[in-house]
């Protein structure tokens, strides 16, 4: 039954593409026609390729990463290039193969474990937390675990509750893990390369619906030496009236919201967290001290979430700078429903962000008027 | 493989009997014939060893068959004896120290099972790995971690093998390739399989292996673990990829208070090896010489690249599951039955009967170990507690964590980082 469910998932990229066509706003960004573009999928693939080429101790393992070329084609071409010794198709045994990868990392290899989706990492969470995250501490620094756990995270489309969950807050709760969530192609390349080079376990949360999206990309980012700092956020758009902080796909929504807000005279600053843990408290607080207003956006459940942690960092460091209550936009506090209309209501939408930003600026309109 | 006849029971995988088209006959990974054991396979004179589970199953209370062992030299015998005595005296001391409040939490002692740790681990090289469970003190000692480091760890002192950050159930020692005690059932097996994977990867991809063959990993776990999915997942992958690992089941018959026979549909665990295409061997885990013989063969097999072996060692723990266990479910006659088969007493008897050493020589070994363990306690007691500053250290290998270098800047801002040459 599980197998059938997964096979269904294998066809999900196509579903994702259909959905992307239905979402006109995402392609509305204005980019110079001359700029080179790259999809997130190509960015991830090229990062894996370059790091494998640079360091023979890097290898990939997971379900369908080899002959199938990746359930979402992130590992396309790598089996041909690096052979089955370094691109390992595993049986459907998350606990087993994740633990094996962790053991290999104990011995100095640099495994990149692909979860077909992060939902399946639940079957291996013991190894991510107990075997990977805690070993450096328990061994007093004798055994470090240079490993990357990567795969699509968060809600896809129409796949129901068990396949539609964001694990950012789950993993970000754990000392010993670094948790990254790329948004753009630049993020994906720079952060994945940093994650693979990092000496500690990194949970790398991708988003299925972003895989096919194209982003402009500079020559610097295309350089094989490029990498991004772990623990540092990026100001995606500067503004002065309100700070919107998001990660992964929600950064795109936040940018769209900022565009709408600008037409109504509100200048929103959009921060792309990039790293959920460590959290870039400096960037968060610097922005809030400038705008004095904060909206957090996350796709996952609200309770004990990333938004709550961002808010607390502001309460601790910049409380006196706040001119309005912090607004939290999050997924609905329910398992993901299947029906498309309910699903849409269960995850944040651009309008939600716009409304929240206006509320912080005391320019709110009753929800009924805009809904 | 045929040499496993030395074991009480041996099941060969049936893959060879399958129909043609299965071209799995692997080329020998180490062409040098000198790596093959010179020793002829031991003749199958070791008939039935009293097997605990089969014993319990059949109600057969007959005495064990007269022990017959392949030659063991005086030096080897004394090394084995010393290691087992160390395990026993160390654990007895742990119980004392626990009741005196010197150590805390869960403390699981190894008494009675020493023949397994000694019989297996003493056959390893330094570069070989051991992955253990929460009952890990004696595995650490056998692998060469000094008694004082283990004791200090148990006391929660800064001089412990993990500076007091691991504790009883989490012994690590990188220089000894002791890759940890794992507190959850089944958790250590994939990690051990991963260490074996790394050995093979180093050999085949990085071309790093030494001339002696692959580094071998031993995964220790108990009968209770053999009902856990990770056990089966890893038997499959280890055999699929021919990894240099030996799965060592310490079947002490009890998973805390759950009898093996009440928990397991087919209690003969070694039979599960052939189901995955690997040899399954059953051995009397109360007889260190028999364990040693099986261990040698399984380890050599792994080292030659011929893949994993499942070894079921029938043993018994002389104490409760942990020092907090009232141990009320195991029957007195069962306990006395196994107490009479104490592996240390048995080896002692053998050594004296074979004139390998005198009683007084063995006594002096015991005295020496007494002193070692006394010294370990004194060392641990006198050692400082971890300083307050230690609390936040070692969360990440990256010294300050968070990708920040010693200069306070993000490590990626180091120009070497983006050149891919900085050790980050």
Q: Is the dihedral of CA A339, A343, A344, A346 positive or negative?
A: positive
- Compute the average pLDDT of residues A238-261: 98
Res. A366 pLDDT band, cuts 50 70 90: low
The residues, ordered by sequence, that sit 6+ positions from B137 with a Cβ below 8 Å of its Cβ are: B87, B90, B91, B94, B109, B110, B150, B154, B168, B171
Q: Are residues B420 and B377 in the same domain?
A: no
Name the DSSP class of B181: E
Q: pLDDT digits over A180-191, tens only?
A: 999 999 999 999
> Token pair 């045994």 is at which residue?
A93
Residue A96 forms contact with B (CB below 8 Å): yes
> Token pair 């796949």 is at which residue?
A159
Element (DSSP H or E) covering residue A328: strand A327-329
Could you say which of A97, A175, A227 has the minimum Cβ distance to residue B418? A227
Listed by start position, the domains of chain A span 2-222, 234-370
Q: Are residues B75 and B219 in the same domain?
A: yes
Nearest-by-CA chain B residue for A226: B418
How many angstroms separate the CA atoms of A78 and A67, rounded? 9
Res. A10 pLDDT band, cuts 50 70 90: very low
For position B407, what pLDDT does the model report? 65
For position B416, what pLDDT does the model report? 56
Q: Are residues B128 and B234 in the same domain?
A: yes
Q: Are residues B406 and B309 in the same domain?
A: no
How many angstroms separate the CA atoms of B25 and B214, rounded? 19
Closest-CA residue to B308 (of B241, B396, B227): B241
For position B34, what pLDDT does the model report? 36
Chain B residues within 8 A of A99 when measuring between CB atoms = 187, 189-191, 193-194, 230, 234
Q: How many residues does this entry show for chain A?
A: 371
- B145, B386, B400, B402: best mutation site toward chain A, by most A Cβ within 10 Å? B402
Residue A163 forms contact with B (CB below 8 Å): no
Res. A1 pLDDT band, cuts 50 70 90: very low
Q: Are residues B308 and B412 in the same domain?
A: no
Quick check: A103 and B170 CB within 8 A?
A: no
Q: Are residues B144 and B222 in the same domain?
A: yes
Residue A64 is a catalytic residue: no
On the question of pLDDT at A8 being above 70, the answer is no
Residue B420 forms contact with A (CB below 8 Å): yes
Residue A205 forms contact with B (CB below 8 Å): no
Chain B residues within 8 A of A109 when measuring between CB atoms = 198, 201
CATH code where residue B376 lies: 3.40.50.970
Q: Are residues B368 and B412 in the same domain?
A: no
How many angstroms separate the CA atoms of A123 and A96, rounded? 9
Q: Specify the CATH superfamily of domain A2-222.
A: Thiamin diphosphate (ThDP)-binding fold, Pyr/PP domains (3.40.50.970)
Quick check: B162 and A142 CB within 8 A?
A: yes
- A89, A91, A142: best mutation site toward chain B, by most B Cβ within 10 Å? A142
Q: Residue B413 sits in which domain range?
A: 397-424
Residue A158 forms contact with B (CB below 8 Å): no
Q: Are residues B112 and B151 in the same domain?
A: yes
For position A364, what pLDDT does the model report? 63
- Alpha-carbon distances, residue A280 vs A6, A187, A237, A271, B299 (angstroms): 35, 15, 17, 10, 49
- Compute the average pLDDT of residues A93-107: 97
Q: Which of A94, A186, A206, A298 is catalytic?
A: A94
Whether ipTM > 0.85 holds is no
Look at residue B208 and give its three-state secondary structure.
coil
Residue B396 forms contact with A (CB below 8 Å): yes
**Burial letters A272-301, b for 16+ CB under 10 A, else e:** bbbbbbbbbbebbbbbbeebbbbbbbbbbb
For position B296, what pLDDT does the model report? 97
> Number of CB pairs < 8 Å for A and B?
198
Each residue's pLDDT, cut to its tens digit, for chain B (424 residues) gives 445 644 556 776 654 333 333 444 444 433 333 333 334 444 433 333 333 444 444 444 333 444 456 689 999 999 999 999 999 999 999 999 999 999 999 999 999 999 999 999 999 999 999 999 999 999 999 999 999 999 999 999 999 999 999 999 999 999 999 999 999 999 999 999 999 999 999 999 999 977 789 999 999 999 999 999 999 999 999 999 999 999 999 999 999 999 999 999 999 999 999 999 999 999 999 999 999 999 999 999 999 999 999 999 999 999 999 998 999 999 999 999 999 999 999 999 999 999 999 999 999 999 999 999 999 999 999 999 998 878 878 888 875 444 555 566 655 555 555 444 434 3
**Burial letters B173-182, b for 16+ CB under 10 A, else e:** beebbbbbbb
Nearest-by-CA chain B residue for A97: B190
Chain B residues within 8 A of A191 when measuring between CB atoms = none
Find the range with the poorest average confidence among A11-20, A129-138, A143-152: A11-20
On average, the pLDDT of chain A sits at 90
Residue A163 is a catalytic residue: yes
Q: Are residues B310 and B252 in the same domain?
A: yes
**Gyration radius of chain B's alpha carbons:** 22
Residue B209 forms contact with A (CB below 8 Å): no
On the question of pLDDT at A3 being above 50, the answer is no
Q: Is residue B117 part of a domain?
A: yes
Residue B184 forms contact with A (CB below 8 Å): yes
CATH class of A234-370: alpha beta
Quick check: B417 and A227 CB within 8 A?
A: yes
Res. A11 pLDDT band, cuts 50 70 90: very low
For position A365, what pLDDT does the model report? 58
Q: How many residues does this entry show for chain B?
A: 424
């Amino acid at each position: 039954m599980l197998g059938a469910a997964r096979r269904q998932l294998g066809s999900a990229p196509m579903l994702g593409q259909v959905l992307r066509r239905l979402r006109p706003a995402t392609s509305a960004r204005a980019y110079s026609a001359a700029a080179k573009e790259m999809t997130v999928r190509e960015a991830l693939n090229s990062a894996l390729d370059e790091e494998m080429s640079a360091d023979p101790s890097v290898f990939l393992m997971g379900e369908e990463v080899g002959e199938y070329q990746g359930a979402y084609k992130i590992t396309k071409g790598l089996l041909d290039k690096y052979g089955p010794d370094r691109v390992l198709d595993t049986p459907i045994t998350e606990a087993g193969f994740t633990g094996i990868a962790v053991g290999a990392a104990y011995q100095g290899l640099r495994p990149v474990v692909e979860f077909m989706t992060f939902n399946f990492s639940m079957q291996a969470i013991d190894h991510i937390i107990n075997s990977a995250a805690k070993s450096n501490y328990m061994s007093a620094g004798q055994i470090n675990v240079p490993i990357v756990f990567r795969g699509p995270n968060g809600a896809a489309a129409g796949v129901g509750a068990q396949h539609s969950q964001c694990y950012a807050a789950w993993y970000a709760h754990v000392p010993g893990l670094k948790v990254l969530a790329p948004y753009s192609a630049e993020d994906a390349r720079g952060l994945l390369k940093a994650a693979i080079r990092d000496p500690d376990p990194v949970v790398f949360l991708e988003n299925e619906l972003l895989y096919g999206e194209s982003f402009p990309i500079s020559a610097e980012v295309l350089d094989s030496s490029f990498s991004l700092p772990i623990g540092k956020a990026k100001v995606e758009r500067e503004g002065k009236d309100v700070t919107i902080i998001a990660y992964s796909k929600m950064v795109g929504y936040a940018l769209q919201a900022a565009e709408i807000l600008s037409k109504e005279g509100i200048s929103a600053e959009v921060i792309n967290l990039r790293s959920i843990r460590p959290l870039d408290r400096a960037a968060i607080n610097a922005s809030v001290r400038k705008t004095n207003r904060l909206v957090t956006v996350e796709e996952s459940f609200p309770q004990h979430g990333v938004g709550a942690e961002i808010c607390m960092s502001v309460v601790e460091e910049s409380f006196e700078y706040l001119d309005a209550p912090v607004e939290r936009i999050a997924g609905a506090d329910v398992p993901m429903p299947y029906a498309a209309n309910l699903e849409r209501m269960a995850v944040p939408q651009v309008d939600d962000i716009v409304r929240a930003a206006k509320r912080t600026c005391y320019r709110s309109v009753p929800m009924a008027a805009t809904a | 493989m045929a040499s496993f006849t030395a074991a009480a029971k041996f099941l060969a995988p049936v893959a060879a009997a399958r129909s043609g088209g299965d071209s799995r006959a692997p080329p020998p990974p180490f062409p040098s014939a000198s790596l093959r054991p010179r020793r002829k396979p031991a003749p199958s004179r070791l008939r039935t060893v009293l097997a605990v589970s089969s014993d319990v199953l059949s109600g057969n209370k007959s005495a064990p068959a007269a022990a017959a062992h392949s030659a063991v030299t005086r030096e080897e015998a004394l090394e084995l004896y010393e290691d087992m005595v160390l395990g026993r005296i160390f654990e007895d001391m742990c119980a004392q120290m626990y009741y005196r409040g010197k150590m805390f939490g869960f403390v699981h002692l190894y008494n009675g099972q020493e023949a397994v740790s000694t019989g297996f681990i003493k056959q390893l090289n330094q570069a070989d790995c051991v992955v253990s469970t929460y009952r890990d003190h004696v595995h650490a000692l056998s692998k060469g971690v000094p008694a004082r480091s283990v004791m200090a760890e148990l006391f929660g002192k800064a001089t412990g093998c993990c500076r007091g950050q691991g504790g009883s159930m989490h012994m690590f020692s990188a220089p000894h390739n002791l890759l940890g005690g794992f507190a959850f059932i089944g958790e250590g097996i994939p990690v051990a399989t991963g260490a074996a994977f790394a050995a093979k990867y180093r050999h085949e991809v990085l071309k790093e292996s030494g001339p002696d063959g692959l580094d071998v990993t031993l995964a220790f776990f108990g009968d209770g673990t053999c009902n856990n999915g990770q056990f089966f997942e890893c038997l499959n992958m280890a055999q699929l990829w021919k990894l240099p690992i030996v799965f060592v089941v310490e079947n002490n018959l009890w998973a805390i208070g759950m009898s093996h026979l009440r928990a397991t549909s087919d209690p003969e665990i070694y039979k599960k090896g052939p189901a995955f295409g690997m040899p399954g061997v059953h051995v009397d885990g109360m007889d260190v010489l028999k364990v040693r013989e099986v261990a040698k063969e399984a380890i050599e097999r792994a080292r030659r690249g011929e893949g994993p072996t499942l070894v079921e060692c029938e043993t018994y723990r002389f104490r409760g599951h942990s020092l907090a266990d009232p141990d009320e479910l195991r029957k007195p006659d069962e306990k006395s039955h196994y107490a009479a088969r104490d592996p240390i007493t048995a080896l002692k008897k053998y050594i004296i009967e074979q004139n390998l050493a005198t009683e007084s020589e063995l006594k002096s070994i015991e005295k020496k170990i007494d002193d070692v363990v006394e010294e370990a306690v004194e060392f641990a007691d006198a050692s400082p507690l971890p300083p307050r500053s230690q609390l936040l250290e070692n969360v990440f290998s990256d010294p300050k964590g968070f990708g920040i270098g010693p200069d306070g800047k993000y490590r990626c801002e180091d120009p070497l980082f983006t050149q891919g040459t900085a050790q980050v």
